[in-house]
């Protein structure tokens, strides 16, 4: 997993609540057997018309958002299914950060497993980001995980967390900063697992 420290990028605004995983990556595209290659199908039914021409009125197709690596959206982002393909699709498309006031539970966890940084901000901060990203397409923001701050270098600055629970936040920040995947973390404790198994079979 790629370690994350900070990025500066344009912010694409998707001003909707409850964006669900079936919209992020519709089920007909879950069939690839690799972890890459899902980006072209991200938000597929919103993004393309019947002839697969990009729909001009869909947010991500707006000029100024082409190279955005940061997505901002409304509450309960990623609701619906446990399909990790949703995270892979966002990552494969080029996003490294999603900003929202609240993430759906499983999606939230899947972010950490794949190095997609879920940035949680207050409703108030969200609104400020949303307005700027909508009104000035191409508006760039720096997401600094080490410093736990957002900054546009032009007067806007706000703190963030990657999890509402402070301890979980600290732990996840550490694994994101170090690009640690969870299997590696767990396998450091093989002896504990073996002991547990032995105690059970007695």
Partner 1 sequence: MAPRTMFQKIWDAHVVRQEPGQPATLYVDLHLVHEVTSPQAFDGLRLNNRKVRRTDLTIAVADHNVPTDDRSGGNVVLEDAVSAAQLDALARNTAEFDIEYYDMYSPNQGIVHVIAPEQGRTQPGMIVVCGDSHTSTHGAFGAIAMPIGTSQVEHVLATQCLSQSPLKTMEIRVEGALPTGVSAKDLILGVIARIGVDGAQGYAVEYTGEAIRSLSMEGRMTLCNMSIEAGARVGMVAPDETTFAYLKGRPHAPQGDEWDAAVERWRQLPSDPDAEYDSVLIIDAAEMAPYVTWGTNPGMAVPVTDAVPSPSDFAEQQDRDAASRALEYMGLEARTPITGIALDRVFIGSCTNSRLEDLRAAAAVAKGRRVHPDVYAMVVPGSTQTKLLAEAEGLDAVFREAGFDWREAGCSMCLGMNPDVLQPGERCASTSNRNFEGRQGKGGRTHLVSPAMAAAAAVAGRFVDVREWE
Note the residues at the interface with partner 1 (CB under 8 A).
17-18, 20, 22-23, 26-28, 30-35, 45, 74, 76, 79-85, 87, 102, 104-106, 109-110, 113-114, 165, 167-168, 170-171, 181-183, 185-187, 189, 192-193, 196-197, 200
Q: Report the distance separating Cα 13 and Cα 59, nearest Å.
A: 7
> Shortest distance, CB of residue 151 to partner 1, whole angstroms?
27
Q: Report the distance separating Cα 153 and Cα 157, nearest Å.
A: 8
The residue among 100, 135, 137, 140 whose CA lies nearest residue 116 is 100
> Shortest distance, CB of residue 192 to partner 1, whole angstroms?
5
Question: In this structure, what token pair is assigned to residue 128?
Answer: 């400020």
The residue among 161, 164, 35 whose CA lies nearest residue 99 is 161
> Shortest distance, CB of residue 102 to partner 1, whole angstroms?
8
Q: Rank residues 45 and 178 by Cβ distance to partner 1 and give the closer one.
A: 45
> Shortest distance, CB of residue 21 to partner 1, whole angstroms?
8
Q: Rank residues 57 and 63 by Cβ distance to partner 1 and give the closer one.
A: 57
> Shortest distance, CB of residue 51 to partner 1, whole angstroms?
14
Q: Rank residues 109 and 132 by Cβ distance to partner 1 and give the closer one.
A: 109
> Shortest distance, CB of residue 3 to partner 1, whole angstroms?
16
Q: Rank residues 78 and 137 by Cβ distance to partner 1 and give the closer one.
A: 78
Neighbour count for residue 200 (Cβ, 10 Å) = 7
The residue among 145, 138, 131, 135 whose CA lies nearest residue 65 is 138
Question: In this structure, what token pair is assigned to residue 36?
Answer: 């890459």
Q: Rank residues 12 and 111 by Cβ distance to partner 1 and give the closer one.
A: 111
Question: In this structure, what token pair is assigned to residue 190?
Answer: 């093989």
Q: Rank residues 28 and 63 by Cβ distance to partner 1 and give the closer one.
A: 28
b/e for 122-144, b at 16 or more Cβ within 10 A? eeebbeebbebbbeebebbbbbe
């Amino acid at each position: 997993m790629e370690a994350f420290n900070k990025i500066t990028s344009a912010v694409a605004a998707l001003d909707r609540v409850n964006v669900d995983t079936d919209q992020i990556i519709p089920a007909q595209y879950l069939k690839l057997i690799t972890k890459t290659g899902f980006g072209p199908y991200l938000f597929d039914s919103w993004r393309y018309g019947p002839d697969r021409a990009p729909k001009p009125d869909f947010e991500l197709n707006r000029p100024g958002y082409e190279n955005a690596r940061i997505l901002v959206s409304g509450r309960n982002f990623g609701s619906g299914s446990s399909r990790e393909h949703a995270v892979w699709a966002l990552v494969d498309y080029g996003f490294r950060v999603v900003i929202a006031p609240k993430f759906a539970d499983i999606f939230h966890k899947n972010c950490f497993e794949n190095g997609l940084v879920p940035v949680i901000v207050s409703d108030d901060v969200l609104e400020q980001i949303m307005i700027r990203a909508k009104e000035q397409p191409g508006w760039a923001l720096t997401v600094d995980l080490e410093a736990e701050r957002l900054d546009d270098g032009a007067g806007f600055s706000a703190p963030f967390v990657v999890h509402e629970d402070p301890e979980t936040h600290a732990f996840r920040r550490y694994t994101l900063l170090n690009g640690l995947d969870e299997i590696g973390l767990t396998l450091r404790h093989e002896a504990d697992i073996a002991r547990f198994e032995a105690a059970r079979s007695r």
